[in-house]
A and B are shown apart, each in its own frame.
Chain A
Amino acid sequence: MDNFFHSVTLDKELCKGCINCIKRCPTEAIRVRNGKAHIISERCIDCGECIRICPHHAKKPIYDPLSVLEDDCYHIALPAPSLYAQFNNLDDVDILLQALRDLGFDDIYEVAKAAEIVSDITRRLMKNGKLKKPVISSACPAVTRLIRVRFPNLIDNVLPVNSPAELAARLAKEKAQKETGLPLDKIKAVFISPCAAKVTAVKMPLGTEKSSIDYVVAIKEIYPRLLPLMQNVKTPAVSSETGKIGVGWGISEGESSALLNLNYLAADGIENVIKVLEEVEDEKLQKLDFIELNACPGGCVGGVLTVENPYIARTRMKKLKKYMPVALNHITRDIPKEAKFDEELTFSPVLTLDEDLSKAMDKLQQIEEITARLPGLDCGSCGAPTCRALAEDVVRGNGSESDCIYKYKEQMDFIFHQMSKLQGYTPEVLKTDDKEK
């Protein structure tokens, strides 16, 4: 991939060139250069950690503005399940859906519906015994990207089913075409997202050549517009068509509990996800059937585009789910073709040192030697997150040992030392005769 799209942008005015984001990036994809943070495209997995951690709010997520509703197309809202848990005192999801209609959407297809279908498909595929265990969920775009880049051995474990948002867009558009008779290019699927990684998932999808989602708008942008509309809803004319399983996908363990199988693991937070994937790779976790991984804390409710604290949202979600039916959406006979991946996930060797093995070994050796010469403090002052990362940058031609402030000081000390030796020494030809004073 030559042209990378990433859902993070930097406001250079606000960036102070501090070390916070470079230290927190799980793939060491950020460097400080010329006093500003710079993301190495190939390494970025869109997990959103830099957006979360930046104390100066210089890292901003990218998403489509609500003004996409203003053209003359037929707009279908695809609300993510996590949207339902953003509102205090909401006990009837129908009110929220009505407000979406009042906001200007022509139609709504709840992503939770598609999530129930994905759960049904997953239960069936797992029962058929054809999937490689442990099966790893494919719903989180940051996780699938992480696996492609850093855990290629696990690519075959990824569930080859599209994420609920993608499936929802496809089913919604088919339904809209039948109902309105409009051509496909006049029907727009708008995903209301908790997460910036979904923007990347739409513009540069994995598992399919082109996403059926047209726009991704942010929950935090739509929230203040929905609130007053919701307060004015008397009797909703639309009704939610989803149960516990669909809505539960918005929180960590929701996807797993829908499998009605206790042999699973659910991890959230990118650091925890990485630790789990390391263990799976080392075959320490083979006896599990399913692994749910969410880059964001608490699951999707912890995404960077949400409004509410993820743990408060989680409790709200549980209350909303309490008296819902288990599920209202099921597959009939066959697995719908819209649900399966139509392209395989492939390895993206951006972390490999060189295609040629002997060259790669030389480079590895050089990295070891340079790392040994560096102080090992991982202070970040050179602009790289760790001393080893700087060594790798040097070997890749992206940095210099003198970027290291300690090395720089060592050099300066050496020069001063030489100069002070010189200062104490006067060559014969410059000596003055003391007797003449």
Chain B
Amino acid sequence: MSEPITLHYTVPGDDFTRAGEASSDVKKKLKALGLDPEIIRKVAIAMYEGEINMVIHAGGGEIKVVLSSSSILMILTDHGPGIADISLAMQEGYSTAQDEVRNLGFGAGMGLPNMKKYSDRMEITTEIGKGTTVEMEVSIKKGT
């Protein structure tokens, strides 16, 4: 089988207008690979939500994406404030986003819930004052 492809992205935390560029690039690459559109959609949404969270809440970070023939693995790492209460953060509608970005459609409080919904596996590791790592995996179905 072919070797897995690893992609690295640095998500800047000081320019909000660049939020979403990494997931947009991944989506483009997945389209070029000709994957099932449903899988592309899941990856695009899950990664987009994770990337936006990093910019809005954590001052940016790094994203590593591993594309293999069995799955797409996304590891999002930031050095932000960490999540104090994960179960509260996972609640639909709960958001700590600033007002300025709500006008662009953010702050609905659906980020983490969507990430869980659109990925097949999600794990969050976090430490207050140190940062957060979110790992998400979307499986690629074999055959049609």
Where the two chains meet, the residues of A that have a C-beta atom closer than 8 Å to any C-beta of B are 116, 119-120, 239, 243-245, 248, 253, 256-258, 260-262, 318, 321-328, 330
- Enumerate chain B residues within 8 angstroms of A253, measured Cβ to Cβ: 103
The interface on chain B, measured as residues whose beta carbon lies within 8 A of the other chain's beta carbons, has a size of 18
- Enumerate chain B residues within 8 angstroms of A321, measured Cβ to Cβ: 105
Report which residue of A262, A318, A324, A326 has the largest number of chain B beta carbons within 10 angstroms of its beta carbon: A326
Whether the Cβ atoms of A260 and B20 lie closer than 8 Å is no
Whether the Cβ atoms of A239 and B28 lie closer than 8 Å is yes
Contacts A239-B28, A323-B48 given; indicate if A262 touches B19 (C-beta within 8 A): no
Whether the Cβ atoms of B101 and A260 lie closer than 8 Å is yes
Whether the Cβ atoms of A323 and B19 lie closer than 8 Å is no
Partner of A327, one of B18, B28, B48, B99: B18
* Nearest CB of chain B from residue A117's CB, rounded to whole Å: 11
Partner of B105, one of A239, A244, A256: A244
Whether the Cβ atoms of B21 and A244 lie closer than 8 Å is no
* Cβ-closest chain B residue relative to A241: B24
Does B100 lie at the interface of the complex (its beta carbon under 8 Å from any beta carbon of A)?
Answer: yes
Interface residues of B in 92-144 (CB under 8 A from A): 99-101, 103-105
Whether the Cβ atoms of A257 and B104 lie closer than 8 Å is yes
**Can you report 5 A-B residue pairs in the complex whose CB atoms are below 8 A from each other?**
A244-B20, A323-B45, A325-B21, A327-B18, A328-B24
A-contact bits for B37-76, CB 8 A (1 contact / 0 none) = 0000000110010000000000000000000000000000
Whether the Cβ atoms of B21 and A328 lie closer than 8 Å is yes
Contacts A327-B17, A327-B18 given; indicate if A260 touches B100 (C-beta within 8 A): yes
* Cβ-closest chain A residue relative to B103: A257
Whether the Cβ atoms of B103 and A318 lie closer than 8 Å is no
* Cβ-closest chain B residue relative to A324: B20
Instruction: For the complex, give the distance between the alpha carbons of A132 and B23 in Å.
Output: 38
- Enumerate chain A residues within 8 angstroms of B24, measured Cβ to Cβ: 243, 324-325, 328
Instruction: For the complex, give the distance between the alpha carbons of A253 and B104 in Å.
Output: 9
**Secondary structure at chain B's binding surface: helix, strand, loop or mixed?**
helix
- Enumerate chain B residues within 8 angstroms of A327, measured Cβ to Cβ: 17-18
Whether the Cβ atoms of A262 and B18 lie closer than 8 Å is no
Where the two chains meet, the residues of B that have a C-beta atom closer than 8 Å to any C-beta of A are 16-21, 23-24, 28, 44-45, 48, 99-101, 103-105
Report which residue of B17, B19, B44, B100 has the largest number of chain A beta carbons within 10 angstroms of its beta carbon: B17
Contacts A257-B104, A260-B100, A318-B105 given; indicate if A326 touches B28 (C-beta within 8 A): no
Instruction: For the complex, give the distance between the alpha carbons of A116 and B24 in Å.
Output: 16
* Nearest CB of chain B from residue A234's CB, rounded to whole Å: 12
Known: A244-B104, A325-B23, A328-B24. 11 other contacts (CB 8 A): A116-B17, A243-B20, A245-B17, A245-B104, A260-B104, A261-B100, A262-B99, A324-B20, A325-B18, A325-B48, A326-B17
Instruction: For the complex, give the distance between the alpha carbons of A325 and B45 in Å.
Output: 11
Whether the Cβ atoms of A326 and B16 lie closer than 8 Å is yes
* Nearest CB of chain B from residue A149's CB, rounded to whole Å: 32
Whether the Cβ atoms of B100 and A326 lie closer than 8 Å is no
Instruction: For the complex, give the distance between the alpha carbons of A243 and B19 in Å.
Output: 10
- Enumerate chain A residues within 8 angstroms of B18, measured Cβ to Cβ: 325-327, 330
Contacts A323-B44, A323-B48 given; indicate if A120 touches B103 (C-beta within 8 A): no
- Enumerate chain A residues within 8 angstroms of B21, measured Cβ to Cβ: 325, 328
* Cβ-closest chain B residue relative to A91: B41
* Nearest CB of chain A from residue B132's CB, rounded to whole Å: 21
Whether the Cβ atoms of A262 and B100 lie closer than 8 Å is yes
- Enumerate chain B residues within 8 angstroms of A328, measured Cβ to Cβ: 21, 24
- Enumerate chain A residues within 8 angstroms of B19, measured Cβ to Cβ: 325-326
- Enumerate chain B residues within 8 angstroms of A257, measured Cβ to Cβ: 103-104
- Enumerate chain A residues within 8 angstroms of B16, measured Cβ to Cβ: 260, 326
- Enumerate chain A residues within 8 angstroms of B101, measured Cβ to Cβ: 260
* Nearest CB of chain A from residue B46's CB, rounded to whole Å: 10
Instruction: For the complex, give the distance between the alpha carbons of A226 and B18 in Å.
Output: 32
Instruction: For the complex, give the distance between the alpha carbons of A326 and B19 in Å.
Output: 6
**5 closest Cβ pairs, A-B complex:** A325-B20, A257-B103, A327-B17, A325-B24, A326-B19
* Nearest CB of chain A from residue B29's CB, rounded to whole Å: 11
Instruction: For the complex, give the distance between the alpha carbons of A39 and B8 in Å.
Output: 61
Instruction: For the complex, give the distance between the alpha carbons of A328 and B20 in Å.
Output: 9
Whether the Cβ atoms of B17 and A120 lie closer than 8 Å is yes
Instruction: For the complex, give the distance between the alpha carbons of A322 and B106 in Å.
Output: 9
- Enumerate chain B residues within 8 angstroms of A243, measured Cβ to Cβ: 20, 24
Partner of A322, one of B17, B100, B103, B105: B105
Instruction: For the complex, give the distance between the alpha carbons of A260 and B18 in Å.
Output: 13
* Nearest CB of chain A from residue B20's CB, rounded to whole Å: 3
Instruction: For the complex, give the distance between the alpha carbons of A256 and B103 in Å.
Output: 9
